[in-house]
Amino acid sequence: MKRRMVLITELIAPYRIPVFNALARREDVELHVIFLSRTDSSMRQWRVYEEEIQFSYDVLPSWRRRLGKFNVLLNRGMPESLRKFGPDVIVCGGYNYISSWQALRWAKGHHVPFILWSESTGNDSRSRHAPMEFLKSKFVGSCDGFVVPGQSARDYLLSLGVKSEDISVAPNAVDTALFASAGATVRQHETQLRAQLALPERYFLFVGRLVPGKGVSDLLDAYTHLPPVLREQVGLVFAGEGPMRAELESRARDIRPGTVHFAGFVHRETLAAYYALAECFVFPTRTDPWGLVVNEAMACGLPVICTRVAGCAADLVHENGRLVSVANVAELSGAMEDIATQAEVREQMGKQSRQRIEAYSPERCAAGLALAAAASEAHVG
């Protein structure tokens, strides 16, 4: 018999659609997704691929504002949407919004298992205010089960007092097959695409928002510290937009020798080309609950340099790359030099990336979510 599952998440993220499609295809799940917002144009420029959605869903009416560092999102219609679908289990992606608390209250009132899908880690350097920590502990203590993307998020829940047997793992995933296939196609037209996109012959790649938390300033500093002869041979490409772009461009103009290219925001249709033509992916984040761009880079066969604070680091980056300390420019620069100067090492790391990321498919993530839903039923009867 199919279990009627409502999954609550903030917005229609391109990387989640393949996971939700895989979940909807399962014989043991009847899925309905409630999106709190269609997108967040103040932070993300990605296209919303609604034509690819193969599951039942609602987008709740919403009001969004940014107040300083806080993202305020208010919704109407959560209880009505839950009542209309009549779920056997609710999976909620986070506890930051009032709608999440409304869903929790509805679940308790209707004796429906409530699962928290949490990516938070103990390495998250974002400030933790006492009132928010109190509310978080109340929310976590009311949940019937938990699902996490990997080891770091699991360890964090354990530190909050959650029992190990109440935690399921749904490995964080992107459409790995899509990126792997697109990457292979790109390499067949390498010369043409490299010229079309104005990319250096060799380069390190960063993909993400150009904000302090992503460590982009550290990356530019690390590139500056590379030996001049290496900077003559290998460039640095930033694919993304953000408030730091003008500052980074200004600083980059003083780097000689060397090539620093700012591609701006790159949509999914073109992104695989940036990955496939790069020599190494660098993720210097100072705070990140996971980092799905690492999944994408690995699917395209890239070595990865990643800070240890990234949520994905413990699960994804082993023999396929290098882990470095957060904000340690010398260590980051050393890892970049090490990989850039050893062609055989790069090739082997790229192969290891492709092999390791195969276990992080949308189907595996969907299976983890379904397992968490089944396990949670014991808590309510």
CA distance 105 to 295: 35
343-359 confidence digits (pLDDT tens):
999 999 999 999 999 99
214-248 confidence digits (pLDDT tens):
999 999 999 999 999 999 999 999 999 999 999 99
Q: Per-residue pLDDT for 131 more than 80?
A: no
Mean pLDDT of 86-95: 95
**135 and 193 assigned to the same domain:** no
Q: Per-residue pLDDT for 330 more than 80?
A: yes
**227 and 207 assigned to the same domain:** yes
**304 and 335 assigned to the same domain:** yes
**140 and 43 assigned to the same domain:** yes
What the block records as the tokens of 285 is 């984040």
**202 and 153 assigned to the same domain:** no
What the block records as the tokens of 299 is 């699917």
Long-range contacts of 194-201 (CB under 8 A, 24+ apart): 194/277, 197/263, 197/270, 197/273, 197/274, 197/277, 198/261, 199/235, 199/237, 199/261, 199/274, 199/277, 200/234, 200/235, 200/237, 200/259, 200/261
28-76 confidence digits (pLDDT tens):
999 999 999 998 766 666 788 899 999 999 999 999 887 666 678 999 9
| Number of domains forming the structure of the chain | 2
Q: Which helix (H) or strand (E) holds 232?
A: helix 228-233
Q: Which amino acid is at 93?
A: G
**154 and 227 assigned to the same domain:** no
**127 and 235 assigned to the same domain:** no
Question: DSSP 3-state assignment of 205?
Answer: strand
Name every residue whose Cβ is closer than 8 Å to that of residue 38 and which is 6 or more positions away in sequence: 11, 12, 48, 59
**211 and 163 assigned to the same domain:** no
Q: Are 200 and 259 in contact (CB under 8 A)?
A: yes
Domain extent, residue 324, equals 176-357
Q: Which amino acid is at 356?
A: R
Q: What is the 3-state secondary structure (H, E, C) of 49-117?
A: CHHHCCCEEEECCEEEEEECCEEEEEECCHHHHHHHHCCCEEEECCCCCHHHHHHHHHHHHCCCCEEEE
**166 and 182 assigned to the same domain:** no
Mean pLDDT of 189-203: 95
**184 and 145 assigned to the same domain:** no
**349 and 367 assigned to the same domain:** no
Which position has the token pair 């290496």?
Answer: 230
Average pLDDT, the chain: 93
Q: Per-residue pLDDT for 381 more than 60?
A: no
Q: Per-residue pLDDT for 79 more than 60?
A: yes
95-112 confidence digits (pLDDT tens):
989 999 999 999 999 999
Give the number of residues written for the chain: 381
Task: Report the CATH number that the domain containing residue 349 is assigned in CATH.
Answer: 3.40.50.2000
**184 and 167 assigned to the same domain:** no
129-159 in b/e form (b: 16+ CB < 10 A) is: eeeeeeebeebbeebbbbbbbbebbbebbee
Q: Per-residue pLDDT for 378 more than 80?
A: no
pLDDT for res 380: 61
Any bridge partners for residue 341, and if so which?
A: none
Q: Per-residue pLDDT for 364 more than 90?
A: yes
pLDDT for res 376: 81
For residue 379, name the pLDDT band (cuts at 50, 70, 90): low
Which position has the token pair 């839903």?
Answer: 373
pTM of the predicted structure, to 2 decimals: 0.94
Name every residue whose Cβ is closer than 8 Å to that of residue 264 and which is 6 or more positions away in sequence: 239, 240, 241
